[in-house]
Structure 1
Amino acid sequence: MKAIYQLKYYLEKRGFYVSSRLADRLGMRAKSVRLFFIYVSFATLGVGFAIYLTLAFLLKLKDLVNTKRTSVFDL
């Protein structure tokens, strides 16, 4: 049981926060969004997981592009 909680903690801490950010934008709980992705991935044989990874990649790109630099020399 302890290993499951450690895995859960690791995935929540190191994840891309796709579910959390999407839930904030939609005004929902993150748990509901995660369950939706799980159900969709089972129903569509992995397409939901591919959508999740695509969203994670796009959010990471958005964060890299929109980083605010304090000066010109922070490149």
Structure 2
Amino acid sequence: MKFFYKILHYFQKRGFYVCQRIADRIGLRAKVVRTSFIYLTFVTVGFGFALYLFLAFWMRIKDMLYTKRTSVFDL
């Protein structure tokens, strides 16, 4: 378990340094850059799920409107 925490600490340290460098270049605080990456991740995942729900709804409505009608000759 200690090995896992060492790896986690290593990646957190290096990952936050990337955000710090981006923030320095743009002229913002690193905290703002980190939170914007987190929000952007939630938005992109949420957009895909919302698109899926919209398409499912649209297909359901289409199936309800354009039902296959039986022919007169099927009697």
The alignment's TM-score, normalised by the length of structure 1, stands at 0.42
Answer with 1 or 2: which has the greater Rg.
2
The alignment's TM-score, normalised by the length of structure 2, stands at 0.42
* More contact order relative to length (CA 8 Å, sep ≥ 6): 1
Larger helix percent: 2
